[in-house]
């Protein structure tokens, strides 16, 4: 009889241990699902954007913040460094695991005006079309392009954010390029 009671206690302890383990797993899941901003890269960062075959690179200081499951990186690029800010691009990257948006606005400080020049959207699920349309400005006029994103790889920590995008560009249903962009930000 006493051995049966010990067996019942052992079984009861095993069940309690299982319940405790499940509760701990749920707490871990809840903790992961409600990550704090401290778990993400925020504040002033060094930003490097490399495109094409590594031949186009932007290096600048930027502001980074994390809100609603997305990173926002704000930075400015001078068109002509000799003119000290007469005309510049103000750029915003909005980054999530499924979509990256680059919005560029041209600022003219002398006229105190700003207007959106270009918005490029790299969105997962557009590999086989239809892609995201963009009006791509060139010195010769605007070119309408379609961006079809093949992959977005994102690695993040409290000190570093790295995003790699592989995409193809089409003009009038004809593929004109297959490219890669690497976005790297660190404290």
Instruction: Please tell me the distance from the alpha carbon of residue 151 to that of residue 164, in angstroms, as a whole number.
Output: 8
Looking at the structure, tell me whether residues 148 and 57 fall in a common domain: yes
What pTM does this model have?
0.71
CATH code (residue 151): 2.40.128.20
Looking at the structure, tell me whether residues 90 and 57 fall in a common domain: yes
Q: What is the pLDDT of residues 14-25, one digit of tens each?
A: 555 555 555 555
Does the CA dihedral 99-102-121-125 come out positive or negative? negative
pLDDT at position 126 over 50: yes
Choose between 79 and 120: higher pLDDT.
120
Domain containing 4 equals 1-34
Instruction: Please tell me the distance from the alpha carbon of residue 69 to that of residue 148, in angstroms, as a whole number.
Output: 23
Q: What is the pLDDT of residues 48-70, one digit of tens each?
A: 999 876 677 888 999 999 999 99
When mean pLDDT is compared across 78-92, 109-123, 150-164, 173-187, the lowest value belongs to: 78-92
Looking at the structure, tell me whether residues 97 and 181 fall in a common domain: yes
Exposed/middle/buried for 73, CB within 10 Å: 0-12, 13-18, 19+?
A: buried
Among 152, 174, 182, 186, smallest CA distance to 53 is for 182
């Amino acid at each position: 009889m006493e051995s049966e009671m010990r067996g019942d206690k052992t079984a009861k302890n095993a069940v309690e241990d299982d319940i405790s383990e499940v509760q701990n797993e749920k707490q871990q899941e809840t903790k992961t699902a409600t990550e704090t901003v401290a778990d993400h890269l925020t504040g002033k960062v060094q930003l490097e954007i490399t495109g094409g075959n590594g031949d186009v690179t932007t290096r600048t200081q930027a502001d980074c913040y994390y809100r609603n499951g997305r990173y926002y990186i704000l930075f400015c690029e001078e068109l002509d460094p000799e003119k000290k800010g007469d005309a510049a691009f103000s750029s915003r990257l909005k980054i999530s695991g499924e979509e990256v948006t680059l919005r560029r606005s041209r600022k003219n400080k002398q006229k105190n005006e700003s207007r959106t020049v270009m918005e490029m959207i790299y969105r997962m699920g557009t590999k086989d079309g239809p892609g995201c349309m963009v009006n791509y400005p060139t010195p010769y006029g605007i070119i309408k392009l379609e961006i079809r994103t093949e992959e977005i790889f994102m690695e993040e920590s409290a000190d570093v954010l790295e995003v790699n995008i592989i995409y193809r560009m089409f003009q009038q249903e004809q593929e004109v390029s297959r490219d890669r962009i690497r976005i790297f930000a660190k404290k």
